[in-house]
Amino acid sequence: MTTVVVTSKGRVTVPKHIRQRLGMKKGERVNFMEEGDYIVLRRDFRRSNKKHKGAHVL
């Protein structure tokens, strides 16, 4: 598990090793969803690269 800090503007940075492993690129859109006590970050496939599919629980 990796811990990140929420900025005063509510921003978080997806750690580099996670971006690399998932093939995330600059400008790619993501969705945040609440599932109980978890936040799920998922690519927005309507606008993102179609070859990468799936949700990833952080």
Q: Structural domain boundaries of the chain?
A: 16-57
Tokens for 4? 């990140």
Q: What is the pTM of this model?
A: 0.64
Lowest mean pLDDT among 20-24, 27-31, 36-40, 47-51: 47-51
**What does the angle CA 22 – CA 4 – CA 17 come to, to the nearest 5 degrees?**
30
Q: Do the Cβ atoms of 22 and 30 come closer than 8 Å?
A: no
| pLDDT tens string 35-56 | 999 999 888 877 545 555 555 5
Q: Do the Cβ atoms of 34 and 24 come closer than 8 Å?
A: no
Neighbour tally for 58: CB within 10 Å: 14
Tokens for 8? 């005063």
